[in-house]
Structure 1
Amino acid sequence: MPIQFGTDGWRDIIADDFTYANVRMVAQAHAQALRQAGGGSVVVGFDPRFQGANFARVVAETMAEGGLDVWLAGEYLPTPALSFAVVHHGAAGGVMVTASHNPPQYSGYKLKGHYGGSATPALVAQVEAALAVPEPYNGPRGTVRPLDIRQAYYEQLDRQLDLEVLRAYRGRVIHDPMGGAACGWLTGYAAHAGLKLQLSELHGRPDPLFHGVNPEPVPASLGELMGLLAGEEGQTLGAVTDGDADRVGAVTAGGQFFNSHQIFAVLTAHLYRVRGLRGRVVKTVSGSRVIELLARRLGLEVLETPVGFKYITDAFLEGQEDESKAVLIGGEESGGLSSRGHIPERDGLLNSLLMIEAMAASGKSLPELFADIEREVGFRHHYDRADLHLSEQFDKAALLAEAQAFAEVAGRVVEGANTRDGVKLSLAGGASAMFRASGTEPVVRVYVEAQSEEDLRAILDEATRRVYRHDPAHRPG
């Protein structure tokens, strides 16, 4: 099977297509692209997945043979720390060996730009071109040296946070790194910054099988944490980071899941009203209507992008060149967020701390802060997503073509169709239903937002049935 780059690099099943040989091919192409752009160095890291350290070693050795000097992590580290290391060392790029939130049998090759964020579409195209037409390299070999970035990364977090407010917070926080790359990093930062919060870890032991769940901060993977917080009240927070710690999720007192749209809205309001920061709000097409309504209420420009943080990265980079286009906050439905002043990279650790900061500054819980926003914008947010695992015979093109022509879904009239990425239908009553096929798995994701739980369930059930109609494996009879 040919190597294919998705929204955030290349991912495949370990020992099937994600092999040492294929990793070397991609690393050679990446090195070629960096050399052609005048780059001389690169940073390489990995998460706790199976063979992660060895795959990272293969990447480092291959890139050194290709003439680049390499900083190689000696142990697992979060993706945002790797991305920060690229900027800290002035490297031409970075590689993170991770499959992020994908199931444990996957690994991946994330490309990072010199600016410390997801590879732009232009950079991905350069690597793909080099993969298609490899050029021999006969120049001098580069060096491989150890990477130690923890202290410098912690100091970067210091610059992004109101430490005085955080140090006054005494609430209980459970961090669930899901056995991934953030194990020990949030507790380590709390000790570094002198935070007095009641912080503990759940699933804090690195595990290539992620303690039996897919390392994605969604309710299906958070049953244990939700159970632990079921009897809690007040500002207690369960902060969740995914397999490589670039995504964030939350569980609040009472064991309630607090989704990424809600986190995005609360942090937008906090950064604007409490921290006094300004700039554009950048959201992917799968993001909530609440984000748009809040941004407009605050007088902020909204920019919508396709799914994939690399498009948000483009907006951050544009804002660095032109102050009038500076970004206050950018985020995606999957829990990836970045904010002004930080690297243009998703950072689950920073966003966990910003959630605590927002509660500490307001004296309110996250659900209370979000309820304030709902009242302000006049929209009640109910949301869910279904990840539909389909057969190889699934007809993606037929589904998307038909979805654009839907006149109604579950009796709600279609008022418009957005085809920026997949198909997102605007429905009567402020609801929406979006259909999008994964670029790395035989999966279609259905995203639904509505103003009542009843509408949400009806729309999601009907949308799911319509997807399955295009998969021979699910057709009746």
Structure 2
Amino acid sequence: MPIKFGTDGWRDIIAEDFTYANVRLVAQAHAQALRQQGGQTGGKSVVVGFDTRFQGANFARVVADTMAEGGLDVWLAAEYLPTPALSFAVVHHGAAGGVMVTASHNPPAYSGYKLKGSYGGSATPSIVAEVETALDAPETYSGPRGTVRPLDIRQAYYEQLDRQLDLNILRAYRGRVIHDAMGGAACGWLTGYAEHAGLKLDLTELHGRPDPLFHGVSPEPIPQNLSELITLLAQESGQTLGVITDGDADRVGAVTAGGQFFNSHQIFAVLTAHLYRVRGLRGRVVKTVSGSRVIDLLCQKLGLEVLETPVGFKYITDAFLEGQNDEGKAVLIGGEESGGLSSRGHIPERDGLLNSLLMIEAMAASGKSLTKLFADIEKEVDFQHHYNRADLHLSSQFDKAALLAGVQNMTDVAGRAVEGVNTRDGVKLTLAGGASAMFRASGTEPVVRVYVEAQSEADLRAILDEATRRVYGYDPGQQPG
């Protein structure tokens, strides 16, 4: 099976296609691409890390040894670490790039190879293309071997978080926080930061023991994987908060007192308002096409420019990099539907730890729960946010192109007239009443994701059900179950 790079690197099933041999091939190609950066001088060093997945440390060692054989000096993580810490290490050490051995939120059977650019963020399409070219046309390297030295970035990364947060606000906060690390790479990191910064939080960890099986779930911060945390929070009230980080800690989720899941759109909106109003920061707001209408309406109120991108944090990274070179295009905050966000002054990388702390900071500064903060935004923009997503697994006979062509011709969904069609990534239909339905087909699997936003739970359910039926109508090999 050929090695295929997706929107954030290469992922495959451990021992089936994610093997030492294939990892070595990818690392050789990556080293070749890094050596060729910057003309004759080329890249000199690379940072390699891993999460808590099965054989993660050993796969990382294969990467490090292969890249050293390819002439690069390697900083190799001494223990598992979060992806944002790895990305920060790339910048901190002035490396040409980075590798994170992780499959992020994928099920435990998977591992992966995430590429990081010298700027400390997701690899741009051009970087990925260079590695793919080297895979197809490998060159023999006969120069001197590079070194492998241990990486310990925790203290420097914590100091970077210090610069992104208002520690006076955080140190005055006394609320209760439960961090569900899901057995992933953030285990011990949030509690470690609280101790480093002298925070007096009532902070406890759930699933804080590193576990290659992620304590029985896929390490993605979505409601179906959070039953234990939701049950714990159901008995709480006030400002008690549950924060969740995914397998490699670049994504974030939240559960509020009463056991209510607080989705990524709501987090995005609350942090945008907090950074603008409390922290006094300015800049563009970057959202993927699957993002909520609430973000657009809020930015209209605040007078902030919104830049909409296709799905994938690499597009948000591009906007951050553009803003680093042009103050007029500086980014205040950028985020995606899956829970990845970054903000001004930080690396152009999703950071579940930073965003967990920013949520706590927003609560501490306002004296309000996240639920109340978002309710205030809903009232301000006159929009009631209800959202859900369905991942529809279809047969090999499924015709994605026919579906997307058909969606563009829809005149209504569940009785709501289509008022606009956006084809930036998949097809997003704007519906009467402020609702929307987006259809996006996977590029590698027979899967269609349907994203729906509406102003009532009844409308949400009706639109999602109708959209699901229409998708299955284009699949002759499978009927809805």
Stretch of structure 1 that moved more, 237-246 or 50-59: 50-59
TM alignment of 1:347-362, pairs within 5 A: 347-362=351-366
Aligned residue identity for 1:426: T
| 1:55 corresponds to | 59
1:116 aligned to which of 116, 120, 123: 120
Matched, 1:216 2:226: no
Question: Which residue number in structure 1 is paired with residue 147 of structure 2?
Answer: 143
Corresponding residue for residue 427 of structure 2? 423
Residue 363 of structure 1, aligned match among 367, 374, 385 = 367
Structure 2, unaligned runs of 5 or more: none
1:469 deviation in Å?
Answer: 2.2
Report the RMSD for the aligned CA atoms in angstroms: 1.2
> Hey, what's the Cα distance between the residues in 1 that align with 2:148 and 2:408?
51
Q: Distance in 2 between matches of 1:476 and 1:237?
A: 37
Offset of residue 441 of structure 1: 4.1
Distance 1:84 1:97 in 2: 15
- What are the residue-to-residue correspondences of 1:366-381 with 2, within 5 Å? 366-381=370-385
State the match for 1:46 in structure 2: 50
Whole-Å separation in 2 of the counterparts to 1:103 and 1:441: 15
Q: 1:160 to 1:82 in 2, by over 3 A?
A: same
Residue pair 1:45, 1:72 contacting (<8 A) in 2 also: yes
Q: Which runs of 4+ in 1 moved over 4 A?
A: none
8 Å CA contact retained: 1:104, 1:208: yes
Residue type of the alignment partner of 1:135: E
Q: Which amino acid aligns with 2:405?
A: A
Amino acid at match of 2:434: G
State the match for 1:245 in structure 2: 249
Shift of 1:453: 0.6
SS in 1 for 2:234: coil
Q: How many angstroms does 1:11 deviate by?
A: 0.9
Q: How many corresponding residue pairs?
A: 477
* Deviation, structure 1 residue 231: 1.4
Moved more, 385-394 or 279-288: 385-394
Q: Which amino acid in 1 is paired with 2:25?
A: M
Residue 473 (structure 1) shift: 3.7
Q: Which amino acid aligns with 2:29?
A: A
- Matched ranges for 1:36-435 at <5 A: 36-37=36-37, 38-435=42-439
Identity %: 87
Q: Secondary structure at the match of 1:384?
A: strand
Amino acid of the structure 1 residue aligned with 2:435: A
Is the CA contact 2:472–2:480 (under 8 Å) kept in the aligned structure 1? no
Rounded to whole Å, the distance in 1 between the matches of 2:255 and 2:445 is: 27
Contact 1:41 1:68 in 2 (8 A): yes
- For the residue of structure 2 that corresponds to 1:204, the secondary structure is coil
CA displacement, residues 230-250 of structure 1 (integer Å, 9 cap, x when unaligned): 011110000000000000000
In the alignment, structure 1 residue 8 sits paired with structure 2 residue 8: yes
Deviations 1:69-103 (A, max 9, x none): 00011211000000000000000000001110111
**Take 2:53 and 2:444, find their aligned partners in 1: how far apart are those partners?**
17
Task: Give a deviation string over 1:236-294, Cα, whole Å, max 9, x none.
Answer: 00000000000000000000000000000000000000000000000000000000111
Give the whole-Å Cα distance in 2 for the aligned partners of 1:20 and 1:443. Answer: 29
- Asked if 2 retains the 8 angstrom alpha-carbon contact of 1:7 and 1:439, the reply is no
Distance 1:154 1:198 in 2: 19
- Pairwise CA distance, 1:167: 0.6
Tell me the secondary structure at the aligned position of residue 440 of structure 2. strand
Look up the equivalent residue of 2:467 and give its one-letter code.
A
Distance 1:17 1:398 in 2: 31
Q: Quick check: 88-97 or 392-401, which moved more?
A: 392-401
Report the TM-score when normalising by structure 1. Answer: 0.98
Q: TM-score, length-normalised on structure 2?
A: 0.98
Mark the CA change 1:57 to 1:393 in structure 2 (over 3 Å): closer, same or farther: farther
Per-residue CA deviations over 1:150-191 (Å, capped at 9, x if unaligned) read: 011001000100111001100000000111000000000001
Q: Distance in 1 between matches of 2:296 and 2:243?
A: 25
Q: Which piece of structure 1 moves more, 1-10 or 242-251?
A: 1-10
Amino acid in structure 2 at the alignment position of 1:456: L
